[in-house]
């Protein structure tokens, strides 16, 4: 795929087709109005571009199918964990009922007293169903309480984790601040050392100039004495 936005020529009818890049901008509504209208007009009369654009639109529509799930209070794993034991209890109750039904059928055939057997079987069924119902209800209640405890525990651990993270961030910030201040102190110390050295150099040079100046004064004074003596001698002669 090329990066150019050049238009391509078609064989029949000498239509100038917009480039794929232009069509993409068109599909995502990123074209100025005039260009958009121009492309719409072209699309109306060009079956080739019509098909291509329709294909892209179909793909874009397919992309919309992936919607991100909304986070729930309990994860899928936790939910399945909660309800799995209840399902096991239900299955166990069903098996017990099935066995009771089979035994009842066999015993009823042996006795021949259908009415008595049916009544006995019915009461047995009712009793077992009631027992299973009570057990299931109790189990669901216990599971709900456990789930609630799990949610509370998860919330507490999340909060603790965040507090730990926050403490870590604060510590990191503090360390950075300490490092920064140490760097600043070191830079100031270097500047101070440099200034002291410069000051000492200047003082030394100044003292040198003073000594030289004093020597110059002494020399000049000596020469003036010599000149005065010479002048005095000349006058006396």
Q: Give the number of other CB atoms < 10 A from CB of residue 26.
A: 20
Q: Which is nearer to other proteins, 21 or 120 (CB)?
A: 21
List the structure tokens of 122.
Answer: 């019915």
Q: How far is CA 148 from CA 82, 86, 114, 196, in A?
A: 11, 16, 50, 72
Smallest distance from other proteins to CB 171, Å: 12
Smallest distance from other proteins to CB 155, Å: 8
Smallest distance from other proteins to CB 68, Å: 6
Is the separation of the CB atoms in 19 and 39 below 8 Å? Answer: no
Q: Which is nearer to other proteins, 5 or 196 (CB)?
A: 5
Q: Give the number of other CB atoms < 10 A from CB of residue 154.
A: 14
Q: Which is nearer to other proteins, 24 or 228 (CB)?
A: 24
**How far apart, in whole angstroms, are the C-alpha atoms of residue 188 and residue 117?**
104
| Distance between start and end Cα atoms, the chain | 117
Smallest distance from other proteins to CB 216, Å: 59
Q: Which is nearer to other proteins, 26 or 46 (CB)?
A: 26
Question: What residue ranges bind other proteins (CB under 8 A)?
Answer: 1-5, 20-21, 23-25, 28, 30, 55-56, 58-60, 62-63, 65-69, 71, 76, 79-80, 83, 155, 158-159, 161-163, 165-166, 169, 172-173, 176
Q: Which is nearer to other proteins, 86 or 96 (CB)?
A: 86
The DSSP code for 8 is E
Location of structure tokens 């109306």: 44
Longest dimension (CA), the chain: 184
Smallest distance from other proteins to CB 28, Å: 6
Location of structure tokens 């964990």: 81
Q: Which is nearer to other proteins, 34 or 63 (CB)?
A: 63
Smallest distance from other proteins to CB 55, Å: 6
Location of structure tokens 């072209």: 42
**How far apart, in whole angstroms, are the C-alpha atoms of residue 85 and residue 140?**
9
């Amino acid at each position: 795929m090329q990066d150019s936005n050049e238009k391509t020529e078609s064989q029949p009818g000498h239509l100038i087709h917009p480039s794929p890049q232009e069509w993409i901008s068109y599909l995502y509504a990123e074209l100025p109005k005039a260009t958009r209208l121009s492309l719409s007009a072209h699309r109306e009369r060009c079956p080739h571009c019509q098909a291509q654009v329709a294909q892209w639109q179909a793909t874009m529509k397919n992309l919309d199918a992936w919607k991100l799930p909304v986070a729930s209070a309990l994860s899928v794993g936790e939910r399945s964990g909660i309800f799995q034991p209840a399902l096991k209890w239900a299955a166990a109750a069903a098996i017990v009922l099935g066995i009771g039904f089979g035994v009842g059928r066999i015993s009823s055939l042996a006795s021949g007293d259908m009415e008595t057997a049916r009544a006995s079987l019915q009461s047995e069924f009712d009793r077992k169903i009631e027992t299973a119902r009570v057990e299931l209800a109790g189990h669901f209640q216990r599971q709900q309480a456990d789930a609630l405890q799990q949610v509370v525990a998860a919330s507490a651990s999340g909060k603790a984790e965040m507090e730990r993270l926050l403490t870590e961030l604060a510590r990191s910030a503090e360390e950075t601040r300490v490092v920064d201040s140490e760097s600043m102190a070191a830079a100031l110390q270097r500047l101070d050392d440099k200034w002291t050295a410069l000051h000492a150099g200047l003082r030394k040079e100044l003292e040198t100039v003073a000594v030289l100046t004093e020597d110059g004064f002494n020399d000049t004074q000596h020469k003036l004495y010599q000149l005065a003596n010479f002048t005095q001698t000349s006058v006396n002669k």
